Structures are given as structure tokens and as C-alpha cells.
Structure 1
């Protein structure tokens, strides 16, 4: 195995982990409300700016991130309570369009407050590198991958092994039946959006040192994240992460080994892969097939 191949794969995993951060947040909202939140990227950027503001006051980065996560949780819950809930009883299409509007609005607010100039965000991990199979791998990349793995496992445990996770799944599956069973549907919806926003804060802090902090920092990442969430299965945290890694590695290997693709066309490779897989398995790699009684 050549060092170049290892380098491309590791870099692809690190890039895929960036997509996975936002994809996991999309999965949380979908498993709670059944919606796809197009505003997830701009919400994560706003959370990162909050952490950046705390850091600018001299606060340690770790503490600033913890506070940003807490603020983001309440912000996400507030968005669900004041905005999304007004449209959840109607068509899903209307609610999705509302999240697109939120995407534009939140990005505009971030640009208005902090300007559209790029900022340097401090890294949670050292910028040193280690050698793996002859390839130079950044500790920051390894830290990002490790963080995503931990987040994925915790979400899997939350949804499959805890009462809160089972309640969130029940609300997503059938809101009326969940309410009749005595579940506090409104609070659970707020918790789902809050968890997604909190995860977005962590993701933004992982992404910003590599991409530079700006209101449009996660715009292109959102496209890959949506592809990963759909490819992996919109109800599967594990699927979202695995699909994001597949996308990251596939585009890196294609750009490195197929001459006519290079850096310009490598975005088409994972998208083509996604279409082919979804033709065979429409519910995604790890998604559950829905059975409709007629």
C-alpha cells in the first residue's frame, strides 16, 4: 500500500468528517420532526461565532465551546418553538421552505453582526503531524475523525438505548399517537432541535480552523452533508457518518488517480455514486424501508 494512497484516504476521512458533523445534526432533526433542516449550516456558523466572541474576551477555548454549546441548545429549541412549530401542523414542504428562509436569515444576521470578513478560529487540536504508513497525517484531522466517531456512538446510544431517544423516535414516527401516550410532544420537539444546534456548535468549532470563519463557511459543506444524510439513511447517525466518509474518500481518490477529473470535477464522483446507490437502495445504506399499509 503506497503512502500516497494512505494519504488520500486519511485526508478523505478528515474531509468526510467535516461533512458528517452537519449530516448528524440533520439526522437528529429528521428523527425528531421528520423534516430536513436546510438552516443547519447557518445555525452551526452562528454558534461558532458565539464561541469566537467568548474566545475574544480571553476565555479558554474549551470553556468558550461549552458555553456556545449551551447557548446553541437553547437557541435551537427557541427556533423550533417560535418559528418551526407554527408550520409543523401543515405541509412538510412549507416547513422545509421555512428552514431555507432561516438559512438565509441567520447567515445575514451573522454577517451583519460580525461582518463578512474571514476570521481565524483557534484549533481544538495541535497542528502537528504524525506518520502513518509513510503518510503525514495531521493531529487535527485525527482529532476531528475521533470526535465524529464519539458523537456518532453517543447518538446511536441515545436513540436506541435511552427513554429520551425512544420518545424522540416515537414523536417522529407518529406525533398524534405519541401525544395520546402521554409524551410531551412539544418539549421533545424542542429537545431535538436543541440537540442538533448543540452538535452544530461542536461541528463549527471543528471546521472553522480549517476553512476560516465566515457567514458562508458551511454553505458548500451543507450540500455534501445533505448528500451524506440521504445516502446513509435519514434516520441513521451511523449511516450519515459512514456515507460522509465514503463521499470524502471517493472524491479524494478520484481527484488523485483519475487524470481527467482532478480537483475541478471530483465533486461529481460522490454525487454519481450517491445516485447509483439510491437507485438500488432508495432508503439509503443504513435507512429503514418504510412499509405502507394500503
Structure 2
């Protein structure tokens, strides 16, 4: 166990520029993630203000962090799009397409990192093949979900046969139609969603890389630092605990114990939790409060291009 005074001494001498760079990359990741949703919405012919989407994604990340398995993030986004005159089916289709595209981007990023890792951390070597297998299986699962929803019209008869409520069948048809619209123009919209998802997660892991680099006695950016930060960033997804509380810290001690002294590991854990979790949580709480405030005033949503949207639905 490290002495708190020693940890504080490390924090006191921590290079400010790396802390600021970490915060900046997190903010940039929010803007990129909002662009991901913007592209998915544009495929349906609707328009939602980009600034609102930025605030909405900050709030969505906050809700994802405080609930098990990020359970409230996508439903909250669906509700936001619903308030901007997309139907529930359309909002669900757009959100699902954007989410699956982001997950494909994540799989591509993690696969690239695992392939290019210059050196596997020694404590992690026995488990590395299992991680590769998990990434492959997860990628196959996401790709299968994309294919399933793309051809979802073939399953509409099942809803009509087994449900007493025709609205469910209608909702599913709208959902699939909106999902498929992101594949217009030879899939360029969906490709844009994947690229934005890739860049979003790359920026998040870059924030961890900056924090890890700053804790070194002689800071030097390297892909090795980035790959370790990416593994630490992935670790919370292995648990249903909101925000992965405790998991990243355990992984930090496990993976960095042979590299850093206890006081530096303790300082890194504090910085990691503060920047990667508490900063987005504070910003997200403010974003949620702001959205509730403007909704309480019954602000009218921006008029949307319903004609274009209906034409796109007919073409699909």
C-alpha cells in the first residue's frame, strides 16, 4: 500500500498538459459521437440541431455510466429523437443502427490494437487468447444483428401471427424501414456511423493514454501506452457494475504493478477515475438537468422535413 502523502506528491508534480489533453480528448469524443447520430438521422431525411445532439450524447453517456450494462443510454436517446417528431419506431431504428455501427467501429479498433500491440503485458499473457476470442465472437454477434435487422421485413409475419396488437407489427415495420435507410447510397451513411464510432472510442482510449503517459517518470507517448490504456478502458465492460467501479482500478494494479511504484499506480488510479468517470458524470448530470429544464418550458422542437422522410420510407 502506498502512503497517501507519496501519492499526493506524485499528483502535485503531475504534468498539467497531459491532464488537459486527456480532458480535451474526452470532450472531442462527445462531438464525434454526436456526429455519429447526426449522420444516422440524416439518412432518414430528418434534422435535429447538432448542438442539441452534443448535449444529448453527453447526457446519454452519463446515464449509461450509472446504470448496469449501460441500460438507459439508448432508450434516453430514443426519447430525445421522439421529442423531435420522429416516431418511436423511427427513433428506435436510427438509435439501433447508430449503436450497432459504433460497436462495429469498436470491434475494428480493438482488433487493430490487439494486432499491433508491441508487447503484451506479462500478467495479461495467459488471458490474451481469450480476449481475442471474445472480440471475434462479439464482432460476429454485432454483424449478425445488423444483418437480422436489415432483413427484418421477412419477420413481420411472425409479429402479425403471434401478437394481438397490430400496432406492434406496425412499429416493427417502421423500425426496420428506418434502420435500412442508413444503408442508402451504397451504405455510405452506415460507413460514416462506423467511422465515427471508431474515432469516438479511439479518443476515449487516447485520454487514458495521456493519463498513463503523464504518470511516467520520463513521459513519452507510445503505442504501448495507448494499447494498455485501451485494455484498461475495455475492462469496465466486463462487469454490470455501473461505471465499472473498481474494475479498472483492479486491472490497473494487476497490469502496472511491474512497471510503476505503488505511489504512481495510486496516483494514476485517482486521475483515471476522476477524468474518465467523474468528469463525464458531472458534465452528463448538467446536460440532463439542462434538457429537463428546456423540456419543462415546453420548448417546441425544430420543424422537421416530414415530406423527405416519408419519401425515403416509400423508397425503402
Asked if these proteins are the same fold (TM beyond 0.5), I'd say no
The structure with the greater share of residues assigned to helix is 2
TM-score, structure 1 normalization:
0.29
